[in-house]
Structure 1
């Protein structure tokens, strides 16, 4: 059932100046909702039969213009709901009129998302979004279009273009999952309507290809750990010790190792947030791992292992700088 919209002079409420507020009344499914138009008139200047100001009403033209503008906003939104075959309540209708969809291009949303990731220190993820944005621009020539323009046909053309440029299936899958994630952000922030979401009928899961397992055997790991490096070759020695530390500490990656400080050691455990996912990790400190920390840690450097310098910590705290 469609809503009905009426303008009325609200006689049940009288303002201190003796005027009654003008209200817009929305009726749907037996429910009524009122919203003030922000203007008021004295009852003697209002035609209650025609629900409009009388000819002698002060500021009549301006009041009629306000009424017409707000009435058109509601009726246009009702028509939009009807054409998209989407049900709604009076509250949803009022909210959509008062908080309309913000017009932002695909490029603008991507750039905001990239900056947000940089602000969150998720540099790797931000750079992958930036690389993907460049790919979209290369394909589409520009991204000044809106998310509603990205439909199934557009997605198929982009996939065909990527394959024509010899991009692997798994890389295509990563890019489409990134696009899907940013599209969901746009929906959540009311930049695009949910009914334009194209991934309901576009199967992203098909863009995944089994790859050869790249894990190494335990014997290979032990051969690296026990490699007879030259003590005078500091880089070879550091590389092997970092590999050993990572293996002993549940596969901690290089970036997270580089940022470890004394505050990450709590009750004989290594406790840190992953730079990539911001997930909390807690791992018991192995004796040999602690020995590696002791070998490289210096009181002159706040980091546990001598990868970054003290200046890096100062810069990362005082700004958004990320090495």
Structure 2
């Protein structure tokens, strides 16, 4: 009986409203579904491909074609090499299990990076490249998964410290190595045991947060700064104030914000990092900034002149983001100096400042957490630690008045 391959949508809906995409192989009236690591809304997947409504549909459709071509190639090779084969034989070949004893970490890193870039997650891919390159410097290109032990991770941590990395940067790299390790386990490329991260705890790498948020007085200085003599800083000032006034919207989401997201005096958008949905009132200061950019009448769908044309590839978007963000942060430092604020201003300071200023103004942590779209109030608390320290210091100074 012929062996058939088909791309199918899982009938079970995930918590995010999407469904997993499977490669289904049917042989001798038996079937096996193999997860491809892709998801889609039910009405965004038809005839074994993503519709135009699916984000990055062209890129991910190309991935589907590659998966299917690979499946057919494996079937042909199995048919030529043996009289018969099982669905398990096919899955092992498809997942590359047959060489799992000496699976190379760097080769698998490269595979994951390629998948990220093809699916439009260019920034994630670049971050994984940094960790990959760091591992190559430490151990070389022939590192195998079985060599990653708790002792290996401890020695790698020492290597990173010797090269100027602090706890935050070390934890970031360790989390990426753990993520790659977990992907290899999930795809059954390596055995589930031994698992080095049971013993080596990334949570021990607690970073000392840098003071990022503005005080209320500093915020007012930035808000009211006179830029008459510095017109080249107007755009940076707009971006910074827009971010604060829109509950700390980050640069990525501002870059992708489209005019279609603005309806009925509200802003509707999905946060890139967490996929949380936001529905914001357009307050007066935000409206002034929007009116300024609408008057430019640029021939694109984007609100801000960060992406200058439609239809850019993920790599072009990533390159443009890097260029504009670097220029923006440089101008913010100049802006702070002119405003008389002795603080290293950056795009991320706006998000921290939004949370801290509201806390100083009496808003509850729970409400701030909800406004920022945090899944856990503890995340919000980490934003507000510096405020808590200042508040405690102020209370402590009352001893001097006794």
- Higher Cα Rg, which structure: 1
- How far apart, in 2, do the equivalents of 1:132 and 1:200 lie? 21
After superposition, give the CA deviation of every residue in 1:76-104 in whole Å (9 maximum; x if it has no partner): xxxxxxxxxxxxxxxxxx98666442534
1:248 and 2:257 are equivalent in the alignment: no
Deviation at 1:320, TM superposition (A): 5.3
Q: Which moved more, 1:187-196 or 1:122-131?
A: 122-131
Task: Call closer, same or farther: CA 1:110–1:175 in 2, change over 3 Å.
Answer: same
What does 1:11-50 correspond to in 2, within 5 Å? none
1:288 and 2:291 are equivalent in the alignment: no
2:153 to 129, 152, 155: 155
Q: How many aligned residue pairs are there?
A: 230
- How far apart, in 1, do the equivalents of 2:145 and 2:117 lie? 23
Task: Call closer, same or farther: CA 1:218–1:126 in 2, change over 3 Å.
Answer: farther
After superposition, give the CA deviation of every residue in 1:120-145 in whole Å (9 maximum; x if it has no partner): 33332221111111000000022x33
TM-score (norm 2): 0.52
Deviation at 1:239, TM superposition (A): 1.4
Q: Is the 8 A contact 1:272 1:282 kept in 2?
A: yes
1:205 and 2:203 are equivalent in the alignment: yes
Task: Call closer, same or farther: CA 1:106–1:267 in 2, change over 3 Å.
Answer: farther
1:193 to 191, 194, 208: 191
Deviation at 1:227, TM superposition (A): 0.7
1:221 is matched with 219
1:115 is matched with 114
TM-score (norm 1): 0.64
Deviation at 1:246, TM superposition (A): 0.8
After superposition, give the CA deviation of every residue in 1:7-58 in whole Å (9 maximum; x if it has no partner): xxxxxxxxxxxxxxxxxxxxxxxxxxxxx9xxxxxxxxxxxxxxxxxxxxxx
Q: Is the 8 A contact 1:257 1:305 kept in 2?
A: yes
2:271 is matched with 274
SS at match of 2:316: coil
- How far apart, in 1, do the equivalents of 2:90 and 2:120 lie? 35
Q: Is the 8 A contact 1:273 1:281 kept in 2?
A: yes
Q: Is the 8 A contact 2:255 2:306 kept in 1?
A: yes
Deviation at 1:277, TM superposition (A): 4.2
1:257 and 2:244 are equivalent in the alignment: no
Q: Which moved more, 1:221-230 or 1:294-303?
A: 294-303
- How far apart, in 2, do the equivalents of 1:114 and 1:98 lie? 25
SS at match of 1:299: coil
Deviation at 1:290, TM superposition (A): 1.6
SS at match of 1:315: coil
1:164 to 162, 165, 171: 162
The unaligned stretches of length 5 or more in structure 2 are 1-27, 29-81, 321-402
Q: Is the 8 A contact 1:102 1:190 kept in 2?
A: no
- How far apart, in 1, do the equivalents of 2:242 and 2:203 lie? 36
- How far apart, in 2, do the equivalents of 1:217 and 1:157 lie? 41
Q: Is the 8 A contact 2:122 2:315 kept in 1?
A: no
- How far apart, in 2, do the equivalents of 1:295 and 1:112 lie? 44
Q: Is the 8 A contact 1:122 1:276 kept in 2?
A: no
1:308 is matched with 307
The unaligned stretches of length 5 or more in structure 1 are 1-35, 37-65, 71-93
1:176 and 2:187 are equivalent in the alignment: no
Task: Call closer, same or farther: CA 1:281–1:186 in 2, change over 3 Å.
Answer: farther
- How far apart, in 2, do the equivalents of 1:160 and 1:97 lie? 42
Task: Call closer, same or farther: CA 1:97–1:140 in 2, change over 3 Å.
Answer: same
- How far apart, in 2, do the equivalents of 1:258 and 1:305 lie? 7
Two-structure CA RMSD over aligned residues (Å): 2.7
